[in-house]
Amino acid sequence: MRKHQEETRAAYDGVVELYASLFAGRLESQPFARNMIGTFAELVRGTGNRRAADVGCGPGHLTAMLHELGLDAFGLDLSPAMIAHARRAHPGLRFDEARMEALPVGDGALGGVLAHYSMIHTPPAELPALLAEQVRVLAPGGLLMVSFFGTEGPDPVRFDHKVTPAYSWPADRFAALLTEAGLVPFARLLHDPASERGYLDTHVLARRP
């Protein structure tokens, strides 16, 4: 396992209860993000394939939200402690330990993949391979929604995230990576920053042709 993944896994293993308490109900005060996820779920339902993965699911709150929105959702995460928490919190749903660049999912099996701030710790040079894996598991017409910290500069910026180092991305640059991976970005939402760093909360929807 790459060093940054080992560090990320260890960092999240160490903050499970605090992280869950801070984020489990956070979307209640974030209408933009909540509605983008609702739009994602509606579009996935429209494909006829309701099977969806919440990659980097953390404590499982968004997996549960996708389930409530009518998807056959399951959660995947690098952190075994996060997976254990998610299983306790949502015993009726499936959660498995997995790396985002090696998903335990068959080719073209999913109608949707949600990556809610779960790609932010991936170094820029490794992101194309990670995106290629999301494309592999999506059925034709399937949807990927990625949320991340947006920056207005030309290049991704490394910063000290509260858990472990992360990267913010210009929305255009990230959308170009999605296109290079074989997806068609068709919607994006940027809104006021939720942190003192000033990065824009950014959500991008893309479809596999």
Token representation of residue 159: 């910063």
Q: How many CB atoms lie within 10 A of CB 64?
A: 20
CATH number at residue 112: 3.40.50.150
Q: Which domain holds residue 104?
A: 3-207
Total count of domains within the chain: 1
| Angle separating helix axes 61-68 and 31-47, nearest 10 degrees | 50
Q: How many CB atoms lie within 10 A of CB 108?
A: 14
Give the per-residue pLDDT at 185: 98
Q: How far is CA 10 from CA 13, 77, 139, 142, 164, in A?
A: 5, 12, 33, 32, 9
Distance between CA 50 and CA 152 in Å, rounded?
A: 35
Give the per-residue pLDDT at 196: 60
Task: Give me the DSSP letters along 75-93.
Answer: EEES-HHHHHHHHHH-TTS
pLDDT digit string, tens, across residues 174-192: 999 999 999 999 999 998 7
pLDDT digit string, tens, across residues 102-122: 999 999 999 999 999 999 999
